[in-house]
Amino acid sequence: MQKDKATEAVETFSNKYNCAQSVLSVFSEELGVSRSDCLRIATPFGSGVAYRQEMCGAVAGALMAIGLKYGMDEHGTRDQKSYTYDLTTHFITEFCKAHGSIYCKDLLGGIDMSTQEGYAKVKEMNLFNCRCAEYVRSATLICEKIIFPRSTHEY
C-alpha cells in the first residue's frame, strides 16, 4: 500500500532531510524530476533558507513543486506565468489561514535560530517535531490539491 504524500513528507523530514526537501521530493515522480534532484535543489531552502528563517522551507518546497507543474519555461506564455502566480497566491493564502504566517521565524514563535542559543532553544523545545513536522504535512496537503485538482473549479 502506497503512503499518502503528507505522511511520506513527514517521514522524510524526520529522516534527516529539511522541510523544503521533504515537501518537494514527494512530488518528484509526478513532476518528472528525480527524487535525488529534488533533494539537492531544495537543500538550501530549509529552515527559512539556511537558518535565516525567512520563508518557511515547507512553503518553498511546495512552491517549487507548483513551479515545476505550472511554471513558465522558455516556450511559456505570460498567461502561464500569471496562472502560476495565482496558484502561488492561493497556496500562501491557504497556508496563512492555517498557520498565520509563511515566515519560519514567526512560525517558531520568534526564536532566532540563526544563533547558537536560538538553535539550542528550538531543539530544547522540540519545535522541529512539534511544529515543523506539521508545517511539512500542511504544505504537502495544500500543494497536493493544487498539483492534482479534483475538478476544474479547484486549484
pLDDT tens-place values along the chain, 155 residues long: 567 999 999 999 999 999 999 999 999 999 999 999 999 999 999 999 999 999 999 999 999 999 999 999 999 999 999 999 999 999 999 999 999 999 999 999 999 999 999 999 999 999 999 999 999 999 999 999 999 987 544 55
User: Could you tell me if residue 153 is left (phi over 0), alpha (psi between -120 and 50 degrees) or otherwise beta?
Assistant: alpha
Q: Is the dihedral of CA 50, 96, 23, 117 positive or negative?
A: positive
Q: Are 60 and 50 in contact (CB under 8 A)?
A: no
Helix (H, G, I), strand (E, B) or coil at 135: helix
CA distance 31 to 147: 9
User: What pLDDT is recorded for position 153?
Assistant: 47
Could you tell me the three cell numbers for 55?
520563508
- Average pLDDT in the chain: 94
CA distance 125 to 4: 28
